[in-house]
Structure 1
Amino acid sequence: MQKRATILLALLSLSWTFELSSAQKRWTAFRNMFRRIKYGVPTGGNPGKPLFLTPYIESGRTEEGRQLSMVGPLPGANVKSYSGYLTVNKTYNSNLFFWFFPALVQPEKAPVLLWLQGGPGGTSMFGLFVEHGPYVVLKNLTCKYLLLLKVSERKFSWTSKYSMLYIDNPVGTGFSFTDDEKGYAENQDDVGRDLYSALIQFFQLFPDYQNNDFYATGESYAGKYVPAIGYYIHTHNPSAKLKINFKGVAIGDGLCDPELMLGGYAPFLYQIGLVDEKQKDYVQNQTDLGVMYIQQQKWREAFELFDQLINGDQTGHPSYVQNVTGCSNYFNFLQCQKPTDQDYFGELLALTEVRKSIHVGNLTFHDGSIVEKHLLQDVMKSIKPWLAILMDNYRVLLYSGQLDIIVAAPLTERFLPTVPWAKVDEYKDAKRAVWKINAEDLEVAGYVRQAGDFYQVIVRGGGHILPYDQPERSLDMIESRYGPKGAQHLTKMRDAMVDHLSGENEWPYKSAASLGACQGGGGGGGGGGGGGGGKPGHEGREGCPSLRYHHPLAGVTAVRLTVMAAAVENYLMLAAPLASPAIHLISVVWIQWYIESFRGLVVLLWQEQKPEFQHSNFGELLTLILDIQ
């Protein structure tokens, strides 16, 4: 009897995930970024009450509201964060749920990144727990009856460099809700309006972050959400009292222009071997019909065709592509089924103690179906005009996973040349650069094209859920050379220099002393700087090769070159992102002249101090210009 009671008590403490009916099990890349999970009722106990922060903001009690919004402990780890609800429409009682993580390093200076999941109706909690938030959910079977969930800290979390703001968007997604049918977004204007209201309130609640650089980011159907909020800030914030320091956007595998993107499916699926010739022709005929529907503004018909062909959302059975390939996962064509650990976060959010810690109480976690219903007429519309305005005025990053199917990289390649922005011709002529995380890496991380402040990146080895597949490459893309920060300067330097630099790459001296002996004055002066520089008369000295570089300053010491390296490093890291085009061009020419003039010394320094330079921007620049290994 006691054993039976113990088992019953254990069963009551579980976080159950119930099997749903076959109709409920359907999931889609655009709506649900995870399989349907029943969240319903918390797992017993007291989940607390939802925290609505708008009243605190409006009454000037922001400090009190901020303290109340601090997230309580989670099982396994505890990173400082804040969460709660922001009311974006009082008439309909529409509320957006947010979860904010200050950067782990220098949060007072770190940019703030807004993350929006796709869908329509995909929760941003997926991005938090599965992709790049500070937490990853672990599920351990410790005994026959008890299943334990806990969180662990993610190694390549974006919060290591950025303050991350996750919002369940639009209203009706995840923990966000409304009390009226009229509160749901019908188009991207509605999406932008509600998000903007939430952002203004967020920066009122957290004024210390108001002056930090702000970027809107997201993936998949957020290829519309992100331009929507970016455009709304662009058009409404200049005249607002509270300014958002908006700097740009980043979109991953984004559905931005269905009309042009649809036509890329047939050749892509054929080229990766998922359909044969006959199946390719069928897909092409169907997508051509879908394009015709779009051109005729038959939005519902276009969506239904797309759904039956590829998406498999509303049909009640697998899509055509799912049937002929036998695979349900179109996030990564190397994985036929979706990884099961991408669902763990749903079970975590059903735990009473977790709901209490994040201030959602017993409110329903929505699967997003009603959001899709209200945005159905919007799915197949293009966002290109708004994207063009953002590309003309801000820093824009569009990235694609090489292994994605549902918004494959070639689909993005099809529509980008048609975006009507000022530098479209420069983009068409731009060279694609190879990207490595470290210069000495044998493995290539991806490829980048750049025009102005626009960057297009292809990440190798990753699919639709890119940070899950390639966490290190995703973080490197966002924070360093090939993200919104530094790609422009290294790629421009390489393009400007590498094609026309020439001369001897090898410098056979084994030490600075031997270098000085050959370069010193006619009286046999030793040091690297002696004698006012190397002269032709030294070429016959024993052990001294023929010198091809006889610059007046060729006697510069390795110490001075080290100082130069530090100056270049500081320029690349600090000044270059802020420099005007003219100043940057002058700097590039000067650095080119310097390295060209002292090629021998540069190679010597590389040979003797490689560990010190190989991970620096200066070291990477040397490998690009001089082919030093």
Structure 2
Amino acid sequence: MGPPPVLLLLLVLPLLAAGVVLRQSQEPKELWGYVQVRSKAHMFWWLYYADNPTKDFTELPLILWLQGGPGASGCGFGNFEEIGPLDKEMKRRNTTWLQAASILFVDNPVGTGFSYVDDCSLFAKNLTTVVSDMMVFLGEFFTRRTEFQTIPFYIFSESYGGKMAAGIALELHEAVQKGTIKCNFMGAALGDSWISPLDSVLSWGPYLYSTSLLDDKGLAEVTGVAKEIMDAINKNQYGLATELWGKAEDIIEENTDNVNFYNIMTKEVPEVKSNEQGNLHLRLYQRHVRNMHKDSLNELMNGPIRKKLKIIPDCVKWGGQSIEVFQNMAEDFMKPVIDIVDQLLAANVNVTVYNGQLDLIVDTMGQEAWIRKLKWPNLNQFSQQRWKALYVSPESTETAAFHKAYENFAFFWILKAGHMVPSDQGEMALKMVRMVTQQQQ
């Protein structure tokens, strides 16, 4: 393991956008730093204390946000594009989750965002390593930040981050039970999450067909490659399944005139044309990770933010190792973790699933399909519940979402949202956070 993990803490003044009128006299308190999770493997984190005009941070929960990819940066994309206090233009975000919680962004797996490894053999290759690294980080974080040990702690996630969140949540629950990590862990929220890749893939054709984005011929082509993926997974050929997954996405793009996998109401113009595809992993990386490292965010993170943080090594570029992160996880990518969700429910851990109506890559049909496969004894009672319509405010008449819950399991169907729910429906996402963390509306 090498030397003990080192936690570097810095208390700093944040960037202020010129001309922005603040509701309070100062921006929320921030901390950031690195934890050495293994010898020569360094994980970057960024903490914002809750910013609520009537409540101290001690009266609100702490949320760990896990981004997807694998290889997409929570400290970058999740922070500046989705739920942090400022957007990438350095303007105040009206729907920041800091109104309801403190937020801990972590660039994981190592090599993501500002996290880095000194040796290329140290990239995580499976969920087991991702979970192990995060346990080191969380153990160090809660040991040093004792003010958060008793505050309700939740893991919220998006996309592949949901797969990681499930594994981390189970390991954390066990660590808390054993007393090896001191924190008040209250549950995990899995957003548009890659819990069962096969169920997502099998639903792509029917979903696109039902929304008039495939014709009969296109549906037959997508269904054909989906069956190839199913055969590979049934034979435990997960590397092949990942390759075929890339092939399935190519077929979808050809048949739909490049539908956006993250929101079917928008169009994605590919950087790499079909006759110039080259390396499969590079193509998949460009579609699903580089998409979250666009020029404006890249310039912000490697310019003003890097200058602000002051601790990023000269040899580290934000997102510089992310393609290696993605490629190293390719064999693990298509493996399901439905069994881990079952274990969480059996351990009485609160599990929330939320999904955007317009998401394709992890469409709601696929989420519902794997949920039906749960062995949770209360699944039938959950299924029999009638969902409830939700509105962003008492004055609103437009349905923003539907919600269903039973015991320690809940589902939110978020309308008019794609894969990145907080970006598309910020008010509803914030309302959902308050509901999940049991705050009064």
Q: Say yes or no: TM over 0.5.
A: yes
Q: Distance in 2 between matches of 1:340 and 1:398?
A: 22
Q: Post-superposition shift, 1:169?
A: 0.5
Would the aligned equivalents of 1:417 and 1:427 in 2 still touch at CA under 8 Å?
no
Q: Counterparts of 1:343 and 1:410 in 2: how far apart (Å)?
A: 33
Equivalent position amino acid for 1:74 in 2: L
Identity %: 28
Deviation at 1:241, TM superposition (A): 4.1
How much has 1:395 moved relative to structure 2?
1.4
Deviation of the 1:160 alpha carbon: 1.1
Assess, with a 3 A threshold, how the Cα gap between structure 1 residues 262 and 340 changes in structure 2: closer, same or farther: closer
Report deviation, 1:88. 0.4
Q: Deviations over 1:75-132 (max 9, x none)?
A: 5275421111111012xx1110001001013211211100010001111120100001
Give the one of 336, 347, 360 matched to 1:382.
336
Tell me the SS of whatever aligns to 1:349. helix
Q: How far is the alpha carbon of 1:354 from its aligned partner?
A: 2.5
What is the CA–CA distance in structure 2 between the aligned matches of 1:73 and 1:401, rounded to whole Å? 32
Does residue 74 (structure 1) correspond to residue 15 (structure 2)? The answer is yes
Partner SS state of residue 108, structure 1: helix
For 2:82, give the aligned amino acid. Answer: E
Offset, 1:309: 1.2
Q: Distance in 2 between matches of 1:357 and 1:439?
A: 40
Q: Describe the superposition over 1:576-628 as per-residue Cα deviations: whole angstroms up to 9, x where unpaired.
A: xxxxxxxxxxxxxxxxxxxxxxxxxxxxxxxxxxxxxxxxx7xxxxxxxxxxx
Partners of 1:397 and 1:441 lie apart in 2 by 24
Which residue does 1:455 correspond to in 2? 410
Counterpart in the other structure of 1:235: 174
Match of 2:284 in 1: none
1:253 aligns with 2:207: no
> Helix, strand or coil for the counterpart of 2:227?
helix
Does residue 1:435 correspond to 2:366, yes or no? no
2:38 aligns with: 89
Q: Please give the per-residue CA displacement for 1:135-159, whole angstroms capped at 9, x wherever unaligned.
A: 1022xxxxxxxxxxxx111101001
Greater CA drift, 463-472 or 104-113: 104-113
Structure 1's unaligned 5+ residue stretches are 1-51, 58-64, 139-150, 311-318, 487-572, 574-616, 618-629
CA distance in 2, matches of 1:200, 1:325: 46
Please point out which of 306, 311, 316 is paired with 1:355. Answer: 306
Would you say the 8 A contact 1:53–1:84 is kept in 2?
Answer: no
* Cα distance in 2 for residues equivalent to 1:386 and 1:280: 32
Is 1:108 aligned with 2:58? yes
Matching residue within 310, 313, 317 for 1:364: 317
The alignment partner of 1:192 has SS state of helix
Change (3 A) 1:263 1:341: closer
**1:537 matched residue in structure 2:** none
CA 87–273 in structure 1, closer or farther in 2 if over 3 Å, else same? same
Give yes or no for contact 2:61–2:437 (8 Å, CA) kept in 1.
no
Whole-angstrom distance in 2 between the partners of 1:223 and 1:459: 16
Cα distance in 1 between the residues matched to 2:327 and 2:36: 22
Classify the secondary structure of the residue corresponding to 2:224. helix
Q: Relative contact order, CA 8 A, sep 6+: which one is greater? A: 2
| Cα pair 1:84 1:360 within 8 Å, conserved | no
Cα offsets for 1:201-256 (capped at 9, x unmatched): 11122111111111111101112110011011123332234412111001110010
Higher-Rg member (1/2): 1
Deviation >6 Å, runs of 4+: 338-342
Q: For residues 202 and 129 of structure 1, what CA distance do their matches in structure 2 show?
A: 23
Whole-angstrom CA distance in 1 between matches of 2:105 and 2:297:
15
**Structure 2 SS opposite 1:458:** strand
Q: How many residues align?
A: 402
Q: Aligned partners of 2:421 and 2:295: how far apart in 1?
A: 16
Letter in 1 for 2:373: T
Counterpart for residue 152 of structure 2: 213
Counterpart-to-counterpart distance in 1, 2:117 and 2:376: 37
Q: 1:285 to 1:158 in 2, by over 3 A?
A: same
Deviation digits for residues 542-595 of structure 1 (CA, Å, limit 9, x no counterpart): xxxxxxxxxxxxxxxxxxxxxxxxxxxxxxx4xxxxxxxxxxxxxxxxxxxxxx
Give the Cα–Cα distance (whole angstroms) in 2 for the partners of residues 80 and 397 of structure 1: 29
User: Do the aligned partners of residues 129 and 337 (structure 1) sit closer, same or farther apart at CA in structure 2, a change above 3 Å counting?
Assistant: same
Residue matched to 1:132: 83
**Paired position in structure 2 for 1:99:** 46
Cα distance in structure 2, aligned partners of 1:241 and 1:302: 37
Query: Partners of 1:179 and 1:340 in 2: how far apart?
Result: 24
The aligned counterpart of 1:444 is 399
Task: Report the aligned-residue RMSD.
Answer: 2.2
Deviation at 1:181, TM superposition (A): 3.0
Alignment of 1:165-564 (within 5 A): 165-310=104-249, 319-327=250-258, 329-337=260-268, 343-351=295-303, 353-358=304-309, 359-362=311-314, 363-367=316-320, 368-392=322-346, 393-480=348-435, 483-485=436-438
